[in-house]
């Protein structure tokens, strides 16, 4: 009987061993399933909160934007545009080549770590330009870039040349998609220059002094036409100190309307020699018909108490040195002068405040007409021819 019992005990033990092994195996399966399920859950959670890094390569521009940490599927915050000398920033490219597309900050979402590359367009101006600078455009197109260099030593159609040291300037000014040809003069002895360009709706004027690469006494105006009216802006100028000028100040004055339409057209004036001179008045300038390339522009037109208008004229002024042998030196300067214009019957009375005349717009603008005596002003009568 003992052997039988022993065998039974062994069988029970075997059964118990099998039961333990099965339990262990079942527990392991459950544990693995739980771990796998946890991993899956963690993986899903990780996908939903994935953070990607976006870096910016400014390609030499400044400031270089800091990298951004962006959740998957979220939009990228547009950084401040960098700047690079003699280049225009056009956007952030998805690859470092000209064929790559620009990143769309309005609709693009982040799904991976990426680097965006600044794309630059080189300014279309010679590196050797004598005068370079920028306007803050009044047309809303951003900066208006201009440059000019020597064209010739002789006078051409629209360039006034009055001394042996004056040279003709030629260049371009680009205001958004609009391109103008610049013309002007530069006196190598005095360092004074004047440039102008424009069209039927936009007129630019730049004047100043350039000596040994240093710009000074520089002022600019922008005339913009809207409908039949011209708005004339006088723009502050800052010397850049590198042979160029940065014209990026705010507009200091503006006029909404020019001269009354009744004053438009041709007029005659008798000069000091008793000879007639003929002029044409438009909304924004006075043109001497004998010198049509030297118009006097009207700036900052304001009404006078009792009628008439006060304004600043920017005009060409001719000077000459004379001795007993006659004229031995002549030169032309762009100057500003405070003027009154008033209706007198069928005529126009033009009062010139001679003491206000100055190469600086600010000085002419600040002149107080209340202190002007009879010797510091003179009147001119315009009559219809």
Q: pLDDT tens-digit profile of 285-342?
A: 888 888 887 888 887 788 888 788 898 888 888 777 777 777 777 777 778 899 999 9
Question: What pLDDT, on the 0 to 100 scale, is given for residue 326?
Answer: 76
- Residue for token digits 């600078």? 133
Across the chain, mean pLDDT equals: 74
| pLDDT per position as a tens digit, 125-155 | 555 678 877 666 555 556 677 788 887 665 5
Question: What pLDDT, on the 0 to 100 scale, is given for residue 49?
Answer: 79
Question: What pLDDT, on the 0 to 100 scale, is given for residue 216?
Answer: 75
Which has the closest alpha carbon to 172: 135, 197, 208?
197
Question: What pLDDT, on the 0 to 100 scale, is given for residue 178?
Answer: 67
Q: How confident is the model at residue 353 (pLDDT cuts 50, 70, 90)?
A: very high
CB neighbours of 120 closer than 8 A, spacing ≥ 6?
59, 60, 61, 84, 87, 88, 89, 90
Q: Which two tokens stand for residue 350?
A: 């033009």
Indicate yes or no: pTM above 0.75: no
| pLDDT per position as a tens digit, 149-181 | 887 665 544 455 556 777 888 888 776 666 778
CA separation for the pair 83, 72 (Å, rounded): 30
Question: What pLDDT, on the 0 to 100 scale, is given for residue 383?
Answer: 92
Tell me which DSSP letter residue 274 carries.
Answer: S
Question: What pLDDT, on the 0 to 100 scale, is given for residue 115?
Answer: 94
- Continuous H helices in 117-159: none
For residues 45 and 71, which has the higher predicted lDDT (pLDDT)? 71
Evaluate whether 313 touches 296 at the Cβ level (below 8 Å). yes
Question: What pLDDT, on the 0 to 100 scale, is given for residue 40?
Answer: 43
CB neighbours of 302 closer than 8 A, spacing ≥ 6?
255, 309, 310, 311
Q: Which two tokens stand for residue 203?
A: 């007129």
CA separation for the pair 280, 166 (Å, rounded): 28
Compute the residue count for the chain: 385
Question: What pLDDT, on the 0 to 100 scale, is given for residue 59?
Answer: 87
User: How big, in percent rounded to 5, are the helix, strand and coil portions of the chain?
Assistant: 15, 50, 35
Computed from CA positions of residues 120, 125, 131, 137, in that sequence, does the dihedral angle turn out positive or negative?
negative
| pLDDT per position as a tens digit, 250-281 | 333 444 556 777 788 889 999 888 899 999 88
Question: What pLDDT, on the 0 to 100 scale, is given for residue 228?
Answer: 58
Question: What pLDDT, on the 0 to 100 scale, is given for residue 137?
Answer: 58
User: Which of 196-205, 342-351, 372-381 shows the lowest per-residue confidence on average (mean pLDDT)?
Assistant: 196-205
| pLDDT per position as a tens digit, 193-243 | 888 776 666 677 787 888 887 777 777 777 766 655 566 666 655 544 444
CA separation (Å) from 258 to 201, 209, 229, 262?
Answer: 14, 29, 7, 11
Burial 131-146 (b: 16+ CB within 10 A, else e): bbbbbbbbeeeebbbb
Question: What pLDDT, on the 0 to 100 scale, is given for residue 125?
Answer: 53
């Amino acid at each position: 009987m003992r052997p039988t019992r022993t065998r039974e005990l062994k069988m029970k033990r075997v059964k118990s061993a099998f039961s333990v092994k099965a339990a262990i195996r079942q527990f392991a399966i459950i544990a693995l399933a739980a771990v796998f399920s946890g991993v899956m859950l963690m993986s899903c959670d990780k996908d939903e909160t994935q953070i990607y890094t976006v870096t910016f390569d400014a390609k030499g521009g400044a400031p270089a934007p800091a990298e951004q940490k962006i959740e998957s599927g979220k939009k990228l915050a547009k950084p401040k545009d960098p700047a690079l000398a003699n280049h225009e920033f056009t956007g952030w490219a998805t690859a470092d080549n000209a064929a790559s597309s620009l990143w769309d900050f309005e609709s693009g979402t982040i799904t991976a770590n990426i680097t965006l590359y600044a794309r630059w367009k080189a300014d279309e101006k010679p590196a050797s330009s004598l005068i370079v600078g920028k306007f803050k455009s009044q047309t809303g197109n951003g900066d208006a870039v201009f440059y000019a260099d020597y064209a010739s030593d002789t006078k051409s159609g629209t360039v006034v040349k009055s001394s042996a040291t004056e040279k003709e300037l030629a260049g371009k000014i680009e205001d958004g998609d609009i391109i103008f040809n610049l013309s002007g003069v530069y006196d190598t002895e005095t360092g004074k220059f004047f440039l102008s360009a424009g069209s039927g709706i936009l007129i630019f004027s730049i004047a100043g002094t350039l000596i040994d690469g240093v710009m000074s006494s520089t002022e600019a105006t922008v005339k913009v036409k809207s409908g039949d009216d011209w708005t004339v802006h006088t723009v502050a100028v800052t010397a850049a100190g590198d042979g160029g000028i940065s014209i990026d100040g705010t507009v200091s004055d503006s006029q909404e309307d020019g001269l009354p339409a009744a004053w438009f057209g041709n007029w005659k004036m008798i000069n000091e020699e008793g000879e007639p001179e003929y002029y044409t008045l438009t909304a924004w300038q006075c043109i001497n018909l004998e010198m049509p390339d030297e118009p006097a522009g009207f700036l900052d037109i304001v009404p006078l108490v009792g009628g008439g208008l006060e304004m600043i004229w920017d005009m060409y002024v001719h000077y000459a040195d004379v001795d007993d042998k006659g004229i031995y030196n002549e030169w032309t300067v762009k100057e500003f002068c405070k003027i009154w214009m008033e209706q007198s019957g069928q005529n126009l009375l033009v009062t010139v405040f001679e003491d206000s005349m100055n190469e600086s717009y600010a000085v002419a603008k600040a002149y107080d007409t209340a202190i002007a005596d009879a010797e510091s002003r003179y009147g001119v009568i315009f009559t219809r021819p």
